[in-house]
């Protein structure tokens, strides 16, 4: 049984790489172990800016009659890494892992890529699809840094049985059905145990994949706004009601005294009367009368 490791305790030198396996689609995969077991890392509590992603399909399946598996993933944000030491350590360790994988890719460029790349390590590094994603200018490709870095992890899902294949809990360690929260994760928080499933090589690029083994979830807060009780506000409301009552009485008295015959004044409704702030002079029209 594999046990999770805290990011600070991960020793990247313990990663062991299996032989390259060529898949039916033509892409390649390489299993990676951490010593004699799988590498499973426990993340700190992190922010989920997008909730769950859906719609990634296996493009290697060309036949129209072949059922395409539904794919899910979650993006974790390193928001607050400059203030939270645990998030910073996790970010640093993922970057260290990136460097380790690039080093091994360069050392094994012949068996992995069937190419020497003229011994150019920088070129091999550019082929790597990073674990840590940063926002870049779409035109220049330069790092903008407007948003915190992110990491994406797969959500194991068995479409045939409509089942998510990982343990899911709330933040108090009560087991929950992931189906019930799947639409409520955006802007929520989570703490995961993630597993490095291996390295992929396809389309002239290479990278590694992570999946959820277990997760604790805190749903996003409601966006609905609630009024706050405020004694000053309530006092103003009461005063305004008293003023409105006085205005209605003043207008009623004025109408009785003048006995207005004008049809416009007769059509004045209660809403207009309650908005009158001054008593009209005898023989004249009220301020809110129609002109």
pLDDT at 217: 98
User: What are 129's two structure tokens?
Assistant: 């699809």
State residue 61's pLDDT score: 39
The DSSP code sequence of 202-246 is: ETTEEEEEEEEEEEEEEPPPP----PPP-HHHHHHHHHHHHHHHH
| 190 within 8 A of 215, measured Cβ to Cβ | yes
Confidence at residue 20, expressed as pLDDT on a 0 to 100 scale: 96
What does the alpha-carbon distance between residue 264 and residue 134 come to, in Å, rounded to a whole number? Answer: 68
Angstrom distances, CA of residue 55 to CA of 48, 69, 72, 222, 236: 18, 9, 7, 26, 54
pLDDT at 270: 39
Residue 230: per-residue pLDDT = 67
All CATH 2.40.50 domain ranges of the chain, comma separated, are: 7-218
Q: Model-level pTM?
A: 0.72
Strands 205-218 vs 167-170: parallel, antiparallel or unpaired: parallel
Q: What is the pLDDT of residue 68?
A: 56
Percentage of the residues of the chain whose pLDDT score is greater than 70: 69
**Residue 278's pLDDT is what?**
44
Q: What is the CATH number of domain 7-218?
A: 2.40.50
Low-confidence stretches of the chain (pLDDT beneath 70): 1-2, 54-68, 222-291
Cβ(5)–Cβ(35) under 8 Å? no
**What gap in Å lies between CA 213 and CA 41, rounded to an integer?**
10
8-64 pLDDT tens trace: 999 999 999 999 999 999 999 999 999 999 999 999 999 999 998 864 444 333 333
DSSP at 36: T
Alpha-carbon distance of 63 to 66, in angstroms, equals 5
Non-local CB neighbours of 81 within 8 Å, separated by 6+ positions = 87, 88, 91, 148, 149
| pLDDT at residue 222 in the model | 54
Instruction: Supply the pLDDT for residue 145.
Output: 83
């Amino acid at each position: 049984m594999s046990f999770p490791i805290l990011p600070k305790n991960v020793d990247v030198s313990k990663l062991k790489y299996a032989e390259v396996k060529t898949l039916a689609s033509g892409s390649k995969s390489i299993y990676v172990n951490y010593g004699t077991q799988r590498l499973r890392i426990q993340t700190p509590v992190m922010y989920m800016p997008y909730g769950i992603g859906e719609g990634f399909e296996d493009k290697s399946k060309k036949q129209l009659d072949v059922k395409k598996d539904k794919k899910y993933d979650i993006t974790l944000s390193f928001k607050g890494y400059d203030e939270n030491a645990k998030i910073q350590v996790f970010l640093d360790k993922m970057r260290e892992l990136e460097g380790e994988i690039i080093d091994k890719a360069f050392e094994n460029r012949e068996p992995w890529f069937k190419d020497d790349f003229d011994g150019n390590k920088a070129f091999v590094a550019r082929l790597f699809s990073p674990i840590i994603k940063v926002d870049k200018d779409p035109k220049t490709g330069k790092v903008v840094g407007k948003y915190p870095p992110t990491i994406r992890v797969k959500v194991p899902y068995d479409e045939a049985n409509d089942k998510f294949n990982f343990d899911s809990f709330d933040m108090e360690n009560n087991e929950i059905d992931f189906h019930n929260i799947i639409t409520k994760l955006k802007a929520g928080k989570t703490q995961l145990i993630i597993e490095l499933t291996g390295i992929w090589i396809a389309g002239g690029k290479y990278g590694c994949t992570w999946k959820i083994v277990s997760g604790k979830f805190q749903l996003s807060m409601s966006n609905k706004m609630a009024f706050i009780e405020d004694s000053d506000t309530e006092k103003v409301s009461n005063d305004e009601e008293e003023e409105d009552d006085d205005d209605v009485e003043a207008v009623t008295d004025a109408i009785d005294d003048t006995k207005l015959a004008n049809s416009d004044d007769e059509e004045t409704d209660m809403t207009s009367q309650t908005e009158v702030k001054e008593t009209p002079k005898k023989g004249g029209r009220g301020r809110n009368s129609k002109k």
